[in-house]
Structure 1
Amino acid sequence: MNWSRRSVICAATASAALPRTAFAANPREITWDDLIPSGVPYSQIIGEGVVDEANDTWRPQFDEHATKMNEALNGAYIKMPGYIIPWDVTSAGVTSFILVPYVGACIHVPPPPPNQLVFVTTENPWPNDMLWEPVWVIGHMKSEFQTTEIAEIGYSLTADKMEVFEWEENG
Protein backbone atom coordinates (compact mmCIF):
# COMPACT_ATOMS: atom_id res chain seq x y z
CA MET A 1 0.00 0.00 0.00
CA ASN A 2 1.31 3.43 -0.92
CA TRP A 3 0.68 5.96 1.87
CA SER A 4 0.92 9.68 1.23
CA ARG A 5 2.13 11.98 3.94
CA ARG A 6 -1.39 13.39 4.26
CA SER A 7 -2.88 9.87 4.73
CA VAL A 8 -0.37 9.06 7.48
CA ILE A 9 -1.11 12.31 9.33
CA CYS A 10 -4.88 11.78 9.06
CA ALA A 11 -4.61 8.18 10.28
CA ALA A 12 -2.37 9.18 13.18
CA THR A 13 -4.72 11.98 14.19
CA ALA A 14 -7.76 9.71 14.04
CA SER A 15 -6.09 6.96 16.07
CA ALA A 16 -4.91 9.46 18.69
CA ALA A 17 -8.50 10.57 19.25
CA LEU A 18 -9.85 7.01 19.33
CA PRO A 19 -8.99 6.09 22.94
CA ARG A 20 -10.70 9.20 24.30
CA THR A 21 -13.96 8.53 22.51
CA ALA A 22 -14.13 4.77 22.06
CA PHE A 23 -12.87 3.92 25.54
CA ALA A 24 -14.40 6.79 27.53
CA ALA A 25 -15.39 5.68 31.01
CA ASN A 26 -19.04 5.50 31.92
CA PRO A 27 -19.72 7.58 35.02
CA ARG A 28 -20.77 5.81 38.21
CA GLU A 29 -24.26 7.03 39.13
CA ILE A 30 -24.37 8.01 42.80
CA THR A 31 -26.90 9.43 45.24
CA TRP A 32 -26.45 11.85 48.11
CA ASP A 33 -26.29 8.94 50.55
CA ASP A 34 -23.12 7.77 48.77
CA LEU A 35 -21.31 10.91 49.95
CA ILE A 36 -21.52 9.71 53.55
CA PRO A 37 -19.14 6.85 54.43
CA SER A 38 -20.78 3.52 55.17
CA GLY A 39 -21.84 3.22 58.81
CA VAL A 40 -21.73 6.98 59.46
CA PRO A 41 -25.09 8.60 60.34
CA TYR A 42 -26.35 11.82 58.77
CA SER A 43 -24.89 14.73 60.70
CA GLN A 44 -27.01 16.68 63.19
CA ILE A 45 -26.93 20.39 64.08
CA ILE A 46 -25.55 20.70 67.60
CA GLY A 47 -25.07 24.47 67.95
CA GLU A 48 -26.16 27.80 66.54
CA GLY A 49 -22.86 28.43 64.75
CA VAL A 50 -22.60 31.69 62.80
CA VAL A 51 -25.71 33.72 62.01
CA ASP A 52 -25.38 36.64 59.58
CA GLU A 53 -28.68 38.49 59.83
CA ALA A 54 -27.62 41.20 57.37
CA ASN A 55 -27.05 38.62 54.60
CA ASP A 56 -29.76 36.24 55.85
CA THR A 57 -27.38 33.27 56.19
CA TRP A 58 -26.79 30.71 58.90
CA ARG A 59 -23.80 28.38 59.20
CA PRO A 60 -24.78 26.02 62.01
CA GLN A 61 -22.41 23.91 64.06
CA PHE A 62 -22.65 20.22 63.10
CA ASP A 63 -21.57 17.12 65.01
CA GLU A 64 -18.38 15.19 64.16
CA HIS A 65 -20.09 13.24 61.35
CA ALA A 66 -20.38 16.34 59.13
CA THR A 67 -16.78 16.25 57.92
CA LYS A 68 -16.50 12.50 57.34
CA MET A 69 -16.10 12.06 53.59
CA ASN A 70 -16.41 8.95 51.46
CA GLU A 71 -12.78 8.68 50.35
CA ALA A 72 -13.73 5.94 47.85
CA LEU A 73 -15.20 8.75 45.72
CA ASN A 74 -11.92 10.70 45.63
CA GLY A 75 -10.98 10.79 41.93
CA ALA A 76 -14.09 8.85 40.84
CA TYR A 77 -15.87 9.68 37.59
CA ILE A 78 -19.48 10.12 38.74
CA LYS A 79 -22.96 11.23 37.74
CA MET A 80 -25.20 12.69 40.43
CA PRO A 81 -28.40 14.73 40.62
CA GLY A 82 -28.94 17.93 42.53
CA TYR A 83 -29.88 21.59 42.53
CA ILE A 84 -27.75 24.63 41.72
CA ILE A 85 -26.79 27.41 44.13
CA PRO A 86 -24.98 29.79 41.72
CA TRP A 87 -21.51 31.01 42.61
CA ASP A 88 -19.89 32.47 39.47
CA VAL A 89 -22.49 33.83 37.08
CA THR A 90 -21.88 35.56 33.76
CA SER A 91 -24.17 36.53 30.92
CA ALA A 92 -23.27 33.17 29.33
CA GLY A 93 -24.42 31.24 32.42
CA VAL A 94 -23.13 29.69 35.63
CA THR A 95 -19.55 28.38 35.63
CA SER A 96 -19.29 27.44 39.29
CA PHE A 97 -21.92 26.58 41.84
CA ILE A 98 -22.72 24.58 44.95
CA LEU A 99 -24.61 21.40 44.14
CA VAL A 100 -27.18 20.72 46.87
CA PRO A 101 -29.56 17.83 47.54
CA TYR A 102 -32.80 19.85 47.74
CA VAL A 103 -34.26 23.13 46.47
CA GLY A 104 -33.28 26.15 48.56
CA ALA A 105 -30.51 24.52 50.58
CA CYS A 106 -28.10 27.23 51.80
CA ILE A 107 -30.60 29.99 51.00
CA HIS A 108 -32.75 31.17 53.94
CA VAL A 109 -32.40 27.72 55.56
CA PRO A 110 -29.42 26.10 57.22
CA PRO A 111 -27.09 24.42 54.75
CA PRO A 112 -26.68 20.66 54.76
CA PRO A 113 -23.54 19.32 56.45
CA PRO A 114 -20.26 19.59 54.48
CA ASN A 115 -20.41 15.95 53.37
CA GLN A 116 -23.69 16.75 51.61
CA LEU A 117 -22.39 19.68 49.53
CA VAL A 118 -20.38 19.66 46.28
CA PHE A 119 -18.60 22.67 44.77
CA VAL A 120 -18.84 22.31 40.97
CA THR A 121 -16.82 24.06 38.28
CA THR A 122 -17.47 23.75 34.57
CA GLU A 123 -16.05 25.22 31.38
CA ASN A 124 -19.47 24.96 29.70
CA PRO A 125 -21.77 27.46 31.45
CA TRP A 126 -25.17 26.24 32.60
CA PRO A 127 -27.87 28.62 31.24
CA ASN A 128 -29.07 31.30 33.63
CA ASP A 129 -32.71 30.65 32.69
CA MET A 130 -32.41 27.04 33.94
CA LEU A 131 -31.09 27.65 37.47
CA TRP A 132 -34.14 26.16 39.20
CA GLU A 133 -34.09 22.95 37.18
CA PRO A 134 -32.80 19.79 38.88
CA VAL A 135 -29.63 18.69 37.08
CA TRP A 136 -27.41 15.70 36.48
CA VAL A 137 -23.75 16.63 36.86
CA ILE A 138 -21.12 14.33 35.36
CA GLY A 139 -17.43 14.66 36.15
CA HIS A 140 -14.53 13.86 38.44
CA MET A 141 -15.15 14.05 42.19
CA LYS A 142 -12.65 14.96 44.92
CA SER A 143 -13.06 15.09 48.66
CA GLU A 144 -11.83 18.62 49.22
CA PHE A 145 -12.92 20.62 52.24
CA GLN A 146 -13.49 24.33 51.68
CA THR A 147 -15.16 27.16 53.56
CA THR A 148 -17.31 29.77 51.82
CA GLU A 149 -19.41 32.66 53.11
CA ILE A 150 -22.54 30.51 53.15
CA ALA A 151 -21.38 26.97 53.92
CA GLU A 152 -18.55 24.55 54.52
CA ILE A 153 -18.26 22.18 51.56
CA GLY A 154 -16.78 18.69 51.61
CA TYR A 155 -16.46 17.80 47.92
CA SER A 156 -15.49 19.38 44.63
CA LEU A 157 -16.37 18.23 41.14
CA THR A 158 -15.06 19.26 37.75
CA ALA A 159 -18.06 18.84 35.44
CA ASP A 160 -17.55 17.44 31.96
CA LYS A 161 -21.26 17.47 31.22
CA MET A 162 -24.54 18.66 32.71
CA GLU A 163 -28.11 17.88 31.73
CA VAL A 164 -31.61 18.42 33.06
CA PHE A 165 -32.67 15.74 35.53
CA GLU A 166 -35.85 14.03 34.33
CA TRP A 167 -38.11 12.48 36.98
CA GLU A 168 -39.11 8.92 36.26
CA GLU A 169 -42.65 7.98 37.17
CA ASN A 170 -43.22 4.51 38.61
CA GLY A 171 -46.24 2.94 37.55
Structure 2
Amino acid sequence: MHLSRRKLITTAAAVAALPRSGFARAAREIQWQDLIPPGVPYSKIIGEGEIDAIADTWLPEFDENATKLNKKLDGAYIKMPGYMLPIDLTTKGVTSFLMVPYAGACVHTPPPPANQLVYVETKKPWPSDRLWDAVWVTGQLRHELQSTTLADIGYSMTADLIETYEWE
Protein backbone atom coordinates (compact mmCIF):
# COMPACT_ATOMS: atom_id res chain seq x y z
CA MET A 1 0.00 0.00 0.00
CA HIS A 2 1.36 3.37 -0.98
CA LEU A 3 0.26 6.59 0.69
CA SER A 4 0.72 9.84 -1.12
CA ARG A 5 2.42 12.64 0.73
CA ARG A 6 -0.85 14.63 0.74
CA LYS A 7 -2.81 11.68 2.20
CA LEU A 8 -0.13 11.12 4.87
CA ILE A 9 -0.21 14.79 5.93
CA THR A 10 -4.01 14.84 5.97
CA THR A 11 -4.15 11.66 8.08
CA ALA A 12 -1.54 13.01 10.52
CA ALA A 13 -3.45 16.29 10.89
CA ALA A 14 -6.70 14.42 11.53
CA VAL A 15 -5.08 12.29 14.24
CA ALA A 16 -3.52 15.38 15.84
CA ALA A 17 -6.95 17.04 15.94
CA LEU A 18 -8.53 14.17 17.89
CA PRO A 19 -9.44 15.02 21.51
CA ARG A 20 -6.76 13.88 23.95
CA SER A 21 -9.36 12.66 26.48
CA GLY A 22 -9.96 9.66 24.25
CA PHE A 23 -6.51 8.33 25.03
CA ALA A 24 -5.84 6.63 28.35
CA ARG A 25 -2.97 8.16 30.27
CA ALA A 26 -0.80 5.48 31.81
CA ALA A 27 0.10 6.11 35.43
CA ARG A 28 3.48 5.16 36.84
CA GLU A 29 2.97 2.89 39.85
CA ILE A 30 5.08 4.00 42.80
CA GLN A 31 5.54 3.06 46.45
CA TRP A 32 6.17 5.22 49.51
CA GLN A 33 9.95 4.81 49.40
CA ASP A 34 9.88 6.39 45.92
CA LEU A 35 8.85 9.71 47.52
CA ILE A 36 12.26 9.89 49.21
CA PRO A 37 15.01 11.24 46.91
CA PRO A 38 17.40 8.65 45.50
CA GLY A 39 20.41 8.22 47.76
CA VAL A 40 18.60 9.14 50.98
CA PRO A 41 17.90 5.97 52.99
CA TYR A 42 14.67 5.78 54.99
CA SER A 43 16.73 5.41 58.16
CA LYS A 44 18.11 8.91 57.55
CA ILE A 45 14.75 10.74 57.49
CA ILE A 46 13.76 9.90 61.06
CA GLY A 47 16.06 10.56 64.00
CA GLU A 48 16.05 8.74 67.30
CA GLY A 49 13.46 10.94 68.99
CA GLU A 50 12.26 10.35 72.51
CA ILE A 51 9.65 8.36 74.38
CA ASP A 52 6.79 10.19 76.10
CA ALA A 53 6.23 7.75 78.96
CA ILE A 54 3.08 9.52 80.21
CA ALA A 55 1.31 9.42 76.82
CA ASP A 56 3.02 6.11 75.92
CA THR A 57 4.11 7.43 72.53
CA TRP A 58 7.32 7.84 70.61
CA LEU A 59 8.08 11.40 69.50
CA PRO A 60 10.34 11.17 66.43
CA GLU A 61 12.88 13.82 65.52
CA PHE A 62 13.01 14.88 61.90
CA ASP A 63 15.97 16.57 60.24
CA GLU A 64 16.35 18.22 56.83
CA ASN A 65 16.13 14.80 55.13
CA ALA A 66 12.46 14.57 56.20
CA THR A 67 11.55 17.45 53.87
CA LYS A 68 13.69 16.36 50.92
CA LEU A 69 11.41 15.48 48.01
CA ASN A 70 12.04 13.33 44.94
CA LYS A 71 12.48 15.92 42.17
CA LYS A 72 11.84 13.32 39.47
CA LEU A 73 8.25 12.89 40.69
CA ASP A 74 7.21 16.57 40.54
CA GLY A 75 4.48 16.66 37.89
CA ALA A 76 4.54 12.88 37.35
CA TYR A 77 1.29 11.05 36.69
CA ILE A 78 1.34 8.30 39.33
CA LYS A 79 -0.65 5.57 41.04
CA MET A 80 0.19 4.73 44.65
CA PRO A 81 -1.36 2.87 47.58
CA GLY A 82 -2.09 4.33 50.99
CA TYR A 83 -4.64 5.11 53.67
CA MET A 84 -6.93 8.11 54.08
CA LEU A 85 -6.98 10.59 56.89
CA PRO A 86 -10.07 12.68 55.99
CA ILE A 87 -9.73 16.46 55.94
CA ASP A 88 -13.01 17.46 54.24
CA LEU A 89 -15.96 15.13 54.70
CA THR A 90 -19.45 15.87 53.34
CA THR A 91 -22.63 13.81 53.27
CA LYS A 92 -21.47 12.52 49.87
CA GLY A 93 -18.07 11.41 51.20
CA VAL A 94 -14.44 12.51 51.50
CA THR A 95 -13.35 15.30 49.14
CA SER A 96 -9.86 15.92 50.55
CA PHE A 97 -7.57 13.83 52.72
CA LEU A 98 -4.03 13.15 53.77
CA MET A 99 -2.76 9.96 52.20
CA VAL A 100 -0.55 8.18 54.69
CA PRO A 101 1.64 5.07 54.36
CA TYR A 102 0.04 3.03 57.15
CA ALA A 103 -3.30 2.80 58.94
CA GLY A 104 -3.61 5.18 61.90
CA ALA A 105 -0.73 7.47 60.89
CA CYS A 106 -1.26 10.97 62.32
CA VAL A 107 -4.23 9.79 64.40
CA HIS A 108 -2.83 7.27 66.86
CA THR A 109 0.86 8.00 66.34
CA PRO A 110 3.04 11.02 65.56
CA PRO A 111 2.83 11.99 61.89
CA PRO A 112 5.27 10.54 59.37
CA PRO A 113 7.87 12.92 57.88
CA ALA A 114 6.75 15.44 55.25
CA ASN A 115 8.13 13.36 52.37
CA GLN A 116 5.85 10.52 53.45
CA LEU A 117 2.57 12.49 53.33
CA VAL A 118 0.43 13.46 50.33
CA TYR A 119 -2.45 15.95 50.46
CA VAL A 120 -5.14 14.71 48.04
CA GLU A 121 -8.21 16.49 46.64
CA THR A 122 -10.86 14.69 44.62
CA LYS A 123 -13.87 15.86 42.63
CA LYS A 124 -15.58 12.51 43.06
CA PRO A 125 -16.10 11.99 46.82
CA TRP A 126 -14.91 8.72 48.37
CA PRO A 127 -17.74 7.02 50.30
CA SER A 128 -17.54 7.75 54.03
CA ASP A 129 -18.44 4.14 54.89
CA ARG A 130 -15.12 3.04 53.30
CA LEU A 131 -12.72 5.32 55.18
CA TRP A 132 -10.59 2.51 56.58
CA ASP A 133 -9.99 0.80 53.23
CA ALA A 134 -6.50 0.81 51.80
CA VAL A 135 -6.74 2.65 48.48
CA TRP A 136 -4.97 3.19 45.19
CA VAL A 137 -4.90 6.87 44.21
CA THR A 138 -4.10 7.95 40.65
CA GLY A 139 -3.29 11.52 39.66
CA GLN A 140 -0.59 14.10 39.03
CA LEU A 141 1.83 14.43 41.96
CA ARG A 142 3.21 17.86 42.82
CA HIS A 143 5.88 19.11 45.21
CA GLU A 144 4.04 21.30 47.67
CA LEU A 145 5.79 21.54 51.02
CA GLN A 146 3.26 22.91 53.50
CA SER A 147 3.07 23.11 57.26
CA THR A 148 -0.30 22.48 58.93
CA THR A 149 -1.45 22.02 62.51
CA LEU A 150 -1.72 18.31 61.78
CA ALA A 151 1.63 17.70 60.09
CA ASP A 152 4.21 18.97 57.61
CA ILE A 153 3.24 17.70 54.16
CA GLY A 154 5.58 17.30 51.20
CA TYR A 155 3.36 16.42 48.26
CA SER A 156 -0.10 17.15 46.89
CA MET A 157 -2.23 15.72 44.11
CA THR A 158 -5.66 15.90 42.55
CA ALA A 159 -7.06 12.40 42.30
CA ASP A 160 -8.37 11.34 38.92
CA LEU A 161 -9.22 7.91 40.30
CA ILE A 162 -9.49 6.31 43.75
CA GLU A 163 -9.91 2.54 44.00
CA THR A 164 -9.95 0.04 46.83
CA TYR A 165 -6.58 -1.65 47.18
CA GLU A 166 -6.97 -5.36 46.53
CA TRP A 167 -4.62 -7.54 48.58
CA GLU A 168 -2.97 -10.29 46.55
Indicate whether the TM-score tops 0.5: yes
**TM-score, normalized by length of structure 2?**
0.80
CA distance in 2, matches of 1:139, 1:81: 12
Query: CA separation in 2, counterparts of 1:122 and 1:46?
Result: 36
Structure 1 residue identity aligned to 2:161: K
- In 2, distance between residues paired with 1:161 and 1:107? 25
Which residue of structure 2 aligns with residue 19 of structure 1?
20
C-alpha displacement at 1:20, in angstroms? Answer: 1.1
* Unpaired segments ≥5 residues, structure 2: 1-15
- Count of equivalent residues: 146
Retained in 2: the 8 A contact 1:59–1:151?
Answer: no
Aligned to 2:88: 88
1:11 paired residue number: none
Asked whether the 8 Å contact 1:142–1:157 carries over to 2, the reply is yes
Letter of the structure 2 residue corresponding to residue 90 of structure 1: T
Deviations 1:31-89 (A, max 9, x none): 001000111022113556xxxx8xxx998540121010001111111000000000000
Moved over 2 A (4+): 15-19, 45-48, 57-61
Identity %, equivalent residues: 60
SS of match in other structure, 1:62:
coil
Secondary structure of the equivalent of 1:45? coil
1:119 match: secondary structure: strand
Residue 149 of structure 1: CA displacement?
1.2
The answer on whether the counterparts of 2:46 and 2:60 sit within 8 Å (CA) in structure 1 is no
The residue aligned with 1:145 is 145
Q: Taking structure 1 as the reference length, what is the TM-score of the superposition?
A: 0.79
What's the C-alpha RMSD, in Å, of the aligned pairs? 2.1
* Aligned counterpart, 2:47: 45
